[in-house]
Structure 1
Amino acid sequence: MTTLPRMAAQHDYKTDHKQLTQWYNKNKRSLPWRENKNPYRIWLSEVMLQQTTVVAVIPYFEKFLQKFPTVQDLANAPEADVMEAWAGLGYYSRARNLHKAAKALAAGGFPKTAAELLELPGFGPYTSRAVASIAFGEKVGVLDGNVIRVLSRRYGLKLEWWNGKGRDHLQKISDELSLLGQADVVNQGLMELGATVCTPQKVMCMLCPWAATCVSREKNLVEKLPLKKPRKESEVWVWKPLVAIKNQKVALVQNDYAPFLKGQMIFPGEISMEKNKPKAYDAKHNITHHDIFIQITEKKSLTGKNLQWVDLKELKKVNPSSLLQKVLHKVKL
């Protein structure tokens, strides 16, 4: 059981707040979603930045906005076009939820509080708080990987941040800091500090506004904090897709049998979890903790009431996952 450390004194937060905001205003990067307070742009950037680096996101962000300049444009677009524009960013449930939420936002407008945003598809605690604070100035703190790392190190917190109590403790600190001034500056400052100075590997303490008071630096805990979340063990799955192609169309079904890409259009087939990887397979793919070994069966014809025949040129619109492209690459077209 983890013992939660005592919260730092209020005057410490005031000093930390002042140092952080001064540092951010002087050192913040020029990023396309920081050009204004447009909630659509801010929301889109936050969704894209989940599981993806800033450098990788910028070109996708700019192309996406060219295609869907407003939330109304996104709401009115066919899902296939949205998925095609998202192709390459991965974690495609983000794009589906983005599209669903856009329809609600286009109809009802952008809520200005984290509590209201939380009701929308794809808006978790972090995204809701980020959009509410950055776009609308609501005094709520954010908690993402960067903020968890920065706060854990600054205050020397050996917390199991992936559990409720540890996460709540860090959230309270983030909220305290956001209450002391401009929440948008505080939150972006914490994230910027974690992204550019207090990084997972290369830590540049001398550039940090909190270098003189950092507990983990004083106690030589920088490399030990935040605590490492126990890794979920990888699972070996043997997938046997049936690939049938005729007239430049491929047969797909809505996935109700595989533990990955749930609900998406994939090849029909069967799957099983195994203790050991198979000796023979056509290709290998990883999705989160699923190690997928692919054994392809090519079919000249295929029947079934749930089959959908999709034009090969349109496949990325239906399902942009690289897994399907990897299978097709192994098939003699």
Structure 2
Amino acid sequence: MTAKNDYKLDHKELTQWYKKNHRALPWRANKDPYRIWLSEVMLQQTTVVAVIPYFEKFLTSFPTVKHLAEAEESSVLENWAGLGYYSRARNLHKAAKALASQGFPKTAAELLELPGFGPYTSRAVASIAFGEKVGVLDGNVIRVLSRRFGLKVEWWNNKGRDQLQKISDELALQGDADVVNQALMELGATVCTPQKVMCMMCPWVSRCVARKENKIDVLPLKKPRKESEVWVWKPQVSLKDGKVGLVVNNYAPFLKGQMIFPGEIALEKNKPKAYDAKHNITHHDIFIQISKKKSLSNKDVQWVNVTELKKINPSSLLQKVLHKVDV
């Protein structure tokens, strides 16, 4: 661990680099917490280049928190389609309803109480929009700090995350937290990347422990991969008058709480010999065996126009099933 007075030098080098080298991104145009929040949610699991057109389109449809709060969920999901991980959009919509009535809290602790606001998003919005002196910790920051300080920490566990979070917080305390946090993320996104590392462009090149010890390729430590699970899903697809029957998913381990086809699902040791289609969601390998039903006895079935299905549930899994059925 570096001595405390080193943080001041780290901070100075980092912020000077950021002011000269940062990219002009649409969510950096001002300190509007709505725009900052939206960008942070969209950037989870998605690259900057991919997000920009979605961000601009979304703002055209919902220019303020109030517009988002008053929108139908189907409209929000439609504007989100293509970004994946649709629970993010649903939580965005839920949080917007609370924010539209009470306004944006200015601290990470208060933001953390809202749907979809985890530790990272709360700290990012609080520091960038409101200047709260708290550090952030996302994938880019984890990589940068692990290499800079030569830390072999299991960042996916609480102990390792806490160690890195303390360093991030210490850096944020040295000056403008919004600049420091964006600088760390920018450094990880453009210079200290997972594969193509451009050390000579880094403000910390002369003090990076991983570079000195030739450990750039092994830091940060790689999170153990979760073993894939084989799930055999037997969706019951019933079509009548241009409508398809759906239920709220309370039986499958994927797309929880979303509208999907009723059916059965089982965890198996081996993949089945016969199946209609295959789909992957995170570590779930889903083998689909379609059951066509003329009628459904489930009293909780809701009938949805086939043409509206993407608005109800944009997941490509449902479309994949429908393509195997004569609509």
TM-score range, shorter chain: over 0.9
How high is the TM-score relative to the length of structure 1? 0.97
Aligned equivalents of 1:29, 1:238: Cα separation in 2: 46
Aligned equivalents of 2:297, 2:57: Cα separation in 1: 39
Partner of residue 281 from structure 1, selected from 270, 275, 279: 275
2:240 matched residue in structure 1: 246
**Bigger mean CA offset, 296-305 vs 206-215:** 296-305
Runs of 4+ with >6 A deviation = none
Aligned equivalents of 1:63, 1:322: Cα separation in 2: 21
2:149 counterpart of 1:162? no
Aligned equivalents of 1:10, 1:271: Cα separation in 2: 54
Aligned equivalents of 2:109, 2:85: Cα separation in 1: 25
1:320 matched residue in structure 2: 314
2:10 matched residue in structure 1: 16
Q: Which aligned pairs between 1:291-310 and structure 2 lie closer than 5 A?
A: 291-310=285-304
Cα displacement (A) at 1:313: 1.2
Aligned equivalents of 1:60, 1:303: Cα separation in 2: 40
2:96 matched residue in structure 1: 102
Aligned equivalents of 2:120, 2:64: Cα separation in 1: 22
1:269 matched residue in structure 2: 263
Fraction of identical pairs, as percent: 81
Aligned equivalents of 2:306, 2:46: Cα separation in 1: 28
2:87 matched residue in structure 1: 93
1:4 matched residue in structure 2: none
Q: Which ranges in structure 1 are unaligned for 5 or more consecutive residues? A: 1-6
- Map Cα deviations across residues 209-265 of structure 1 (whole Å, 9 max, x no partner): 111110000000000000111111110000011111111111101111101011110
Aligned equivalents of 1:167, 1:111: Cα separation in 2: 25
2:36 counterpart of 1:42? yes
Cα displacement (A) at 1:302: 2.5
Q: Which aligned pairs between 1:1-333 and structure 2 lie closer than 5 A?
A: 7-333=1-327
Aligned equivalents of 1:173, 1:304: Cα separation in 2: 54
Cα displacement (A) at 1:300: 2.7
Secondary structure of the 2:92 match is helix
- Map Cα deviations across residues 25-50 of structure 1 (whole Å, 9 max, x no partner): 11111111011100000000000111
How high is the TM-score relative to the length of structure 2? 0.99
Aligned equivalents of 1:178, 1:224: Cα separation in 2: 26
Root-mean-square deviation over aligned CA pairs: 0.8
Aligned equivalents of 2:110, 2:158: Cα separation in 1: 22
Aligned equivalents of 1:137, 1:256: Cα separation in 2: 41
- Map Cα deviations across residues 137-195 of structure 1 (whole Å, 9 max, x no partner): 11100000000000000000011111111111100100010011110110000000001
Counterpart amino acid of 1:58? I
Aligned equivalents of 1:317, 1:42: Cα separation in 2: 25
Counterpart amino acid of 2:147? R
Q: How many residues align?
A: 327
Aligned equivalents of 1:166, 1:90: Cα separation in 2: 29
Counterpart amino acid of 1:102? A
Secondary structure of the 1:88 match is coil
Secondary structure of the 1:238 match is strand
Counterpart amino acid of 2:192? C
Q: Which ranges in structure 2 are unaligned for 5 or more consecutive residues? A: none
1:3 matched residue in structure 2: none
Aligned equivalents of 2:264, 2:296: Cα separation in 1: 15
Counterpart amino acid of 1:115? A
